[in-house]
Chain A
Amino acid sequence: MLKFIARRTATLVAAVLLSSFAVFLIPYVTPGDPVRKIIRSRVAGDVVDESVVQSLGQSLGLQDALFVQYLRWLGSFFSGDMGLSYVSRTPVVEQVMPALGVTVSLVTVALGAAVLASLPLGTAAALRQGRRTDRWITAVTQSFIAMPEYWLAPMLVLLFALKLAVLPSAGWNDASSVVLPAATLALRPASYFTAAVRSGMIDALSAEHVFAARARGLGRTRTVLDHVIPNGLLPLATLLAVWFAGLLGGSVIVEVIFAVPGMGRLLYDAVVNSDIPLAQGGVVVVVALAVGITTLADFVHRLLSPKAGAALV
């Protein structure tokens, strides 16, 4: 157990260091002068005063060597300070935390809906393996995978906001404004989750202990509830964690279309504007959370799975 925790903590630190350094390098390896990008993000227009470029670069320390800049950021990060945004000059933490809260809420609702949909669908498909129900569920859910968010989101707006006028087309105000962005995000994971539940259930249904339970006279429903579903859901736990981690910073399209003030939009804007402290702070928080969630999922998986459980010791 201790080994597992130590190994995962080391992974967490390495991931944070690597990702923060990669983000730090983005403005320097992409075309264009970072200082000019910062100025243009504050004051629109192409003409930039050279003296302003010089003085701003100096005041932000952007003329120092790259490793000096990075070590400076690292030092303040480990002392609990994520610094000030280059663009807004407000504390990074004050921008990252609200955005993270929004995205975590959105992703939780989306994945919750995906799980709720996939459980009965996956179970039904597994219990009727190879029959018409299975074929229909598989075909419909697989078709969701081919629906990109930039297409699906406008379609949902078209139907529910413009045609039926039952949901807001954008914004982040009340529960109703969560429905469309969450539905857009939920559809693809729901199809993967359904497939995972289906295959997990099929494996579980053919397990020896299930046959043994049935041989002992346990009813079909009881067998499914007690022996098939718990084991069949194990792959879903890992998949859920991976999707959660991925969507934390990867829901930018949905956030832009639905005007959701989340992490995807924050990180995208930060990178475009060369706002290095904001991008670093945002990425580090997302990576840390992502590693933490996948670690937790592994832990739960190992705890529940008799085979993997041994590895925890």
Chain B
Amino acid sequence: MQVVLLRVFKGSRAALGVVAVLALGGCGLGNGTGGNPGSTDKAVDTNQRIVVDNFRAPVADWAPESDAAYILSLSGCLETLTKYDHAEGKVVPFLASSWKQVSDLEWDFTLRDDVKFQDGTPLTADAVVASLKHVLEAKVPARAFSKKVVSGVKAVDARTVRVSTPVESPLVPYRLASVNTGVLAPAAYKGTSVDPFGHCTGPFVPVSEKAKQSITLDRNENYWGGKVQLAGAEVRFITNGATRAAQVQTGEADISMSIPVASLPSLEGSRDVTVLKADSPRTATLYLNNKRKPLNDPKVRKALRAALDLEALAASVYEGAALPASGPFAPSEPWAIDGAVPPKQDLDAAKKLLAEAGYTPERPLEVIAIVERAEFADVATVLQDNLKKIGVPVAVQSKEYAAAEPDVMAGKYDMLLSQRNRLIDIADPIGFLTADYSCEGSYNLSHFCDAEYDRLIGEASRAADSKERYKLYARAGKILDEQAVNLWLVNEQATDAVRKEVQGFVQDPLSRYVLTAQTAKSGS
């Protein structure tokens, strides 16, 4: 017991990885969103309140264009016109009952007619327009809804909101699912500040805040979406992962978001807690500078890929809480490459590829491991060891991302160990695939450029049908994989812990939706 709990706080230790792997043996890794399978079958008590430990604190005074919107959304306060249904893999109605593209550059969203803000005022097109304009005109706008991608918002009539774009885009409904486009009543906007308290539309009304600590919410008795099953909630801002894990274990919290790997064994051994896992849109990646020798040769890049033992990496450093990556996408994503499997270590093939490329170890290749992710130092050591076996010397350098960024962007680096959230802007990877891999991409760390890839992404950006678009993404992803543009190491898992008394909780890998009208708790 003591060993396990020590691990909760001391961070990951590869030497103790075996314990974690054994602990995980009895717990299958889910591939998508899921409910709380361990919840009790006791009757729901609608007088219960719930405590959620969240991993981030609001930094921007509840400005909806900032990451504070995630907190308001997961708290069941802020709602958007549309919503991304992770299980279905598509955008579904939320505050808007329907939408349609009325011209190449314009989309109309029809609002539900039964929604009132928590302050009693009705949800009208004018209110939605004012709310969206606030986000659009912010000094630091949200990437999902900035003037780069949205040119204007106006009310067509009392129930219709028109959103215009600078170029034709089928992804406007996805943009309106971003939490940053959450709608607040006009009374929430006072000069430059925003006060969401009592001005949302969601099932929970924020009633008080302890700065930097928590917000308290009460049930919205007049919620448009049906009866709310909890009397209220407290959402705490606990930035330390071990503390979140301890609180759900002691029962101080009912739900703890984003549990660190080191805390998993103790939680998975608890009878009162269920650990939920889902593929997150994050893949730990070894970025390769495709413009610099020797990594400008695809054969060298493929040789490096063949030298890596991803299974051992996932089992040791990640202690089984991440899965070996099969390419640029997680296998459960709707745009995953058909039949993709994680590459197996094949040292002979790697050596052969290096010989074909005429590689000679003139200098050690440098891997920059960003310090913001503590585990990357261990990952870099494992990679260094793997590559040494095929005669590729590697020097590891730990740097803050901000310190590495100028050289990486300028192409003055060999390899960078980092990770990106593919769905950070909207619930579609178009922004990521464009910025990171197109020839003119604004965040093309690999300095990769391929005309066919750009053509596919361009076509996808105009494809209204999501299935067709996803196929194009998969084809583009295949190009990246075939050319070994980067080495995708492990797919990270979104891991939340839930007490058995909690019912109706559906895990969202992006942590946007936690408290809903259906979230409930049984009596003690």
Contacts and interface: CB of A to CB of B under 8 A. Distances in A.
Interface of A: 30-33, 36-39, 41-47, 49-50, 52, 55-56, 59, 87-90, 95, 98-99, 150-151, 153-154, 157-158, 161-162, 165, 168-172, 256-259, 261, 265-266, 269, 273
A158 B60 contact: no
Contacts of A269: 59
Nearest to B69: A43
A69 B184 CA distance: 36
A46 B142 CA distance: 13
A162 B67 contact: no
A310 B67 CA distance: 59
B435 to A, nearest CB: 5
A162 B402 contact: no
16 contacts: A31-B402, A41-B59, A42-B60, A42-B63, A42-B67, A44-B421, A44-B424, A47-B435, A47-B443, A49-B143, A170-B238, A256-B239, A257-B9, A257-B240, A261-B211, A261-B212
Contacts of A165: 250
Given A170-B246, A256-B240, A257-B242, 7 more contacts: A32-B405, A39-B140, A42-B66, A43-B140, A157-B243, A162-B250, A259-B240
Contacts of B140: 38-39, 42-43, 52, 56
A259 to B, nearest CB: 5
A49 B146 contact: yes
A86 B238 CA distance: 23
Contacts of A37: 402
B370 to A, nearest CB: 10
A57 B243 CA distance: 36
B213 A259 contact: yes
B252 interface: yes
Nearest to A167: B250
B159 to A, nearest CB: 31
Q: Which of B65, B212, B435 has the most CB of A within 10 A?
A: B212
Contact of B250 (A47, A150, A154, A169): A169
Contacts, number: 137
B157 interface: no
A237 to B, nearest CB: 33
Contacts of B431: 47
B400 interface: yes
A269 to B, nearest CB: 8
A41 B60 CA distance: 9
A40 to B, nearest CB: 8
B239 A154 contact: no
Given A45-B143, A157-B246, A256-B239, A89 B61 contact: yes
B524 interface: no
Contacts of A46: 401, 420, 443
Q: Which of A45, A153, A157, A258 has the most CB of B within 10 A?
A: A45
Nearest to A269: B59
Nearest to B434: A47
A76 B512 CA distance: 40
B148 interface: yes
B60 A168 contact: no
A103 B246 CA distance: 23
B169 to A, nearest CB: 17
B246 A161 contact: yes
A157 B211 CA distance: 24
Given A56-B139, A259-B238, A44 B67 contact: yes
A162 B243 contact: no
A115 B103 CA distance: 75
B386 interface: no
A54 to B, nearest CB: 11
Contacts of B237: 259
B243 A259 contact: yes
B192 A154 contact: no
